[in-house]
Amino acid sequence: MNLLLEGKSAFISGGTRGIGAAMCEVFAREGADVAFNYNSRDDLAEEVKSKIEAHGRRALSFKVSVTDRVGMKKTAREIVEAWDGIDILVNNAAVNKGDNFATTTDKSWDWVVDTNVGSLFAVTKPFYKQMIRKRSGSILNITSIGAIRSLPTSVHYATSKAAMIGFTKCLSREAANFNITVNAIAAGIFDTDLGHSLPERLLQMHDFWVARQRLGRPSELAEFAAFMVSNRNSFMSGEVVIVDGGAVT
């Protein structure tokens, strides 16, 4: 059987840590050339590039913020020059802060919402326009069960991730005209820096209300993500699939 993503090229935002880094490696293992962006850690970017290339695939890294619209347009142009564009886009980069709403500062609210929601426009639009020209593509957005269920997580984070669900569903209707699918994964709590930034009380409760009784491993989400953006998942669009270890609703 052929590899899931053989002959494909992908861009993954936030590719040096946690779920993003895992997707970079799994996508490469499944046959895709992988480009990604990151904010600060050059050493981690080199590690991820090495893992991609170890699977015999091409790798590109870009030190640019997901909120930098000009920078993301430049990134998309450079990928077109190198690879003739991409087939797969994963909006993965996100931030969170353990705030209570009553004490959330303007700065904290703006940081979370601007990063998690603003990046959807800054990152998606230049790559979406490439996909329109090619009349094909797959977009996957990594949202959160915090957008769906009443969990003791931060209000600004849940709000931003709920916006991602609306983005997914509405864009999927428009994108279908160009043979582009748009889906999302609502992730539970995973063993990542972002997961561990959640309130301690939530992490303590987690094993009791999740059937699997543990945090998710980034590779587990990455494996499912690879299927979701593959040609074997050609009829799904506008859907939000929950991957949370069987949390009690």
Active-site amino acid positions: 157
Beta bridge mates, 60: 35
- Torsion 235-58-220-121 (CA) sign: negative
Please provide the DSSP assignment of 143-178 as one string: EEGGGTS--SS-HHHHHHHHHHHHHHHHHHHHHGGG
The residue to which tokens 């074997």 are assigned: 232
**β pairing state of 88-91 and 59-63:** unpaired
In whole angstroms, how far apart are CA 133 and each of 35, 80, 84, 152?
Answer: 20, 12, 11, 43
Are the C-beta atoms of residues 187 and 241 closer than 8 Å to each other? no
